[in-house]
Structure 1
Amino acid sequence: MKIEFAPLNIPLERRLQTAAVLQWVFCFIALAQCCLAAFVLLCLSDLWPLAALYAGWLLLDWDTPSTGGRRSQWVQGWRTWRYFKDYFPISLVKTAELPPQHNYLFGFHPHGVLVAGAFGNFCTTASGFGGLFPGLSPHLLMLPFWFKVPFIRDYLMSGGLVSSEKRSVSHILSRPGGGNVAVLAVGGAPEALEARPGALTLQVLNRKGFIKLALKHGAHLVPVFSFGENELFDQLENPAGSALRGLQERLQKLMGIALPLFHARGVFQYSWGLLPYRRPIRTVVGWPIAVPLTPSPSPEEVDALHARYLQGLSQLFEEHKGHYGIPPHRYLNFI
């Protein structure tokens, strides 16, 4: 394989963009392990009283990721995230007004490998969510596993990330006064195994739990499609039925997280590495679907709202695909 090296005269701005994305990728693939190792070493060192104090704090704070989290406007506004946004670049597209007197459940599609669009738009202030949707506070839902790891849990919550447990979503959607948004990557870990350039397959047909929660709390549903999300990484071939796919699915069931074997470009060369490609991400927030408060929704009511949601998602995709380079003959594939 011929290696394409990065030129030496790259502007400082682009180098800072690469550094911002590099630390973000590191957080996803290695920060949890580093934090756990640091805590163990702290316990075994002369500084063990600090570890004991943190363990006590952890017990007292255990439920915070499921009760709205603990965001930090300072962390969300770091200049690092502006460089992160500009690397791809990421943009947020508004199609309708979302009155802040309601609570909302955003269905984010597709999951992609590392949900870069969801993070950039809903966990930072870089793309201007607050200006586009005044009065709304987004909370990106993440697997509960990550909030059990010392130190990293606090960092994640500072960005507005919260646990994806049902009680966590219910807490956000039931807050009085409105203005709260739960952002869910509906396809979850299984969909990450499908994420590769050109992929338009969404795991959504059998995912109705979020529909039921929206009904229970009368939260308005909003389909969100992130054009370019699947274009950031290549994956090793893992077709359904292959040995690799079978191993990935078993690990996903065991650990609750997906392990896509992805690759794209490196820091000093463009031929191979774990950095995403510099490809634009346009995250389009669709029209809200009004949902009546239904404390005990029937299966028929869930199915009817699910069908309306899929229709709204398809319409959103069809109306905007031509603007973002998707040919007219390409359609979403729901599985």
Structure 2
Amino acid sequence: MKTYTPTTSGTFLERLAGALAVSTFSTCYFYAVLWLPTVGLLFFFVSRTAAAAALVPYAVSAVLPTKALPWLLNTWFFRCALKYHDFDEVEETSQEEISLIEKDKKIIFAAQPHGVMSITGICSAINMAPRPTPPTCTADVIRRIPIMKHVFGVFGLVGASSRSLKSALRRTSVVLYVGGIAELFLSNPAEERLYVGKRKGFIKLAMQTGSEVIPCYYFGNTTCLEILRHPVLTSVSRKLGASITILWGRWGLPIPMPGKSMCVVGKPIGIPKKEFPSEEDVDKYHAVYVKEVKRIFDTYKTRLPDYKDKKIIIET
């Protein structure tokens, strides 16, 4: 098992840059959908020139394809995010072991919790840079919204539909947020709720494609941002595949709080290949996955001040 030494707090300049780096993603996540309405407001209340200037980057993003950019994440600016969040990482399965597994099969890195947005997941990708990380599964709408698709496209994105995942797993391992949008609306700094009781499709998919499942726990995802919760917002967001709500962090702005974050890469579940798995097969390995997630949480939670007294709650 490999454990990374936590980053130091850094200088004031490094922490400021780190706050701006992570805020690039949280601000885009919230405001990208408001870009076109903003262009309209500029047109009617400011000037056509201002509206045209604001429309150019949106239009360019709309037509250009996205591309993973691990070299960008390896720059001083983005690496400062690791200091801002005092990032740490534990590898119960080392990168060398992962490479050996991938010689025979692809891996679904089952990530939880989703949080308002995965700040710890972002830090993990930055920590790995310039090595590329497996692409992240996301709803198609995220990969189509101009500006947003390019900001988050630096991590590499693949569709989260069953068809897209089956296609992706023929050529690459993937990061899959098991709880999805439903888990996003459970995010709360005061408690740790996972939406996993009914999420069994990823286990069936792993069996059908002959893929392995490795749980990844992202400590810090539920403590750095908060959102406005309402049943209507939850319902609309789940249908769209993207969150429609208000988020905030430091000073009431979309700036994530600077609390400690930690990624724990767990152990392989040991998924067998079965083209036509039974319900009992899926239930068996889903139970193993849930047990492993609980073990990871209870084993490492004392390393984070915000988590030492928390208990994990599994939503069914």
Classify the TM-score, shorter chain.
0.7 to 0.9
Residue 73 and residue 263 in structure 1: after superposition, are their counterparts in 2 closer, same or farther (change >3 A)? closer
Is 1:112 the equivalent of 2:115?
Answer: yes
Deviation at residue 288 of structure 1 after TM alignment: 0.8
Structure 2 SS opposite 1:295: coil
Q: Which residue of 2 is the match for residue 202 of structure 1?
A: 194
Structure 1 SS opposite 2:203: helix
Structure 1 SS opposite 2:173: strand
Q: Which residue of 2 is the match for residue 297 of structure 1?
A: 277
- Name the CA distance, whole Å, in 2 between partners of 1:223 and 1:202: 13
Q: Which residue of 2 is the match for residue 213 of structure 1?
A: 205
- Paired residues for 1:224-303 under 5 Å: 224-236=216-228, 238=229, 245-266=230-251, 272-303=252-283
* Amino acid in structure 2 at the alignment position of 1:174: R
Q: Which residue of 2 is the match for residue 333 of structure 1?
A: 314
Is 1:74 the equivalent of 2:71?
Answer: yes
Q: Which residue of 2 is the match for residue 6 of structure 1?
A: none
Spell out, residue by residue over 1:21-61, the C-alpha distance to the aligned partner (whole angstroms, 9 max, x if none): 332222211135437977x999x97xx9x999987x66xx6
- Name the CA distance, whole Å, in 1 between partners of 2:60 and 2:19: 37
Spell out, residue by residue over 1:206-231, the C-alpha distance to the aligned partner (whole angstroms, 9 max, x if none): 11111111111111111111122211
Give 5+ residue unaligned stretches, structure 1: 1-9, 62-68, 239-244, 267-271
Residue 26 and residue 327 in structure 1: after superposition, are their counterparts in 2 closer, same or farther (change >3 A)? closer
Q: Which residue of 2 is the match for residue 27 of structure 1?
A: 28
Q: Which residue of 2 is the match for residue 103 of structure 1?
A: 106
Deviation at residue 144 of structure 1 after TM alignment: 0.9
- Name the CA distance, whole Å, in 1 between partners of 2:139 and 2:155: 15
Aligned residues of 1:36 and 1:149 also touching (Cα < 8 A): no
Structure 2 SS opposite 1:127: helix
- Name the CA distance, whole Å, in 2 between partners of 1:52 and 1:287: 44
> When the two structures are aligned, how many residues end up with a matched partner?
291
Q: Which residue of 2 is the match for residue 5 of structure 1?
A: none
Aligned residues of 2:90 and 2:264 also touching (Cα < 8 A): yes
Q: Which residue of 2 is the match for residue 128 of structure 1?
A: 128
TM-score (norm 1): 0.75
TM-score (norm 2): 0.79
Spell out, residue by residue over 1:271-325, the C-alpha distance to the aligned partner (whole angstroms, 9 max, x if none): x332121101101010011222212222221111111111221222222223334
- Name the CA distance, whole Å, in 1 between partners of 2:264 and 2:273: 26
Q: Which residue of 1 is the match for residue 301 of structure 2?
A: 321
Spell out, residue by residue over 1:129-170, the C-alpha distance to the aligned partner (whole angstroms, 9 max, x if none): 777xxxx84111122102222454344333212222222221
Deviation at residue 84 of structure 1 after TM alignment: 2.0
Q: CA RMSD in A?
A: 3.4
Q: Which residue of 2 is the match for residue 90 of structure 1?
A: 87
Residue 76 and residue 171 in structure 1: after superposition, are their counterparts in 2 closer, same or farther (change >3 A)? farther
Deviation at residue 181 of structure 1 after TM alignment: 2.4
Deviation at residue 111 of structure 1 after TM alignment: 0.9
Structure 2 SS opposite 1:31: helix
- Name the CA distance, whole Å, in 2 between partners of 1:87 and 1:130: 19
Residue identity over aligned pairs, in percent, reads 24
Residue 31 and residue 324 in structure 1: after superposition, are their counterparts in 2 closer, same or farther (change >3 A)? same
- Paired residues for 1:9-28 under 5 Å: 11-28=12-29
Q: Which residue of 1 is the match for residue 287 of structure 2?
A: 307
- Name the CA distance, whole Å, in 2 between partners of 1:195 and 1:78: 30
Give 5+ residue unaligned stretches, structure 2: 1-10
Is 1:184 the equivalent of 2:176?
Answer: yes
Residue 311 and residue 73 in structure 1: after superposition, are their counterparts in 2 closer, same or farther (change >3 A)? same
- Name the CA distance, whole Å, in 1 between partners of 2:221 and 2:90: 14
- Name the CA distance, whole Å, in 1 between partners of 2:159 and 2:222: 24
Q: Post-superposition, which runs of at least 4 consecutive aligned residues in structure 1 deviate over 6 A?
A: 35-38, 50-55
Deviation at residue 233 of structure 1 after TM alignment: 2.4
- Name the CA distance, whole Å, in 1 between partners of 2:140 and 2:263: 25
* Amino acid in structure 1 at the alignment position of 2:216: V
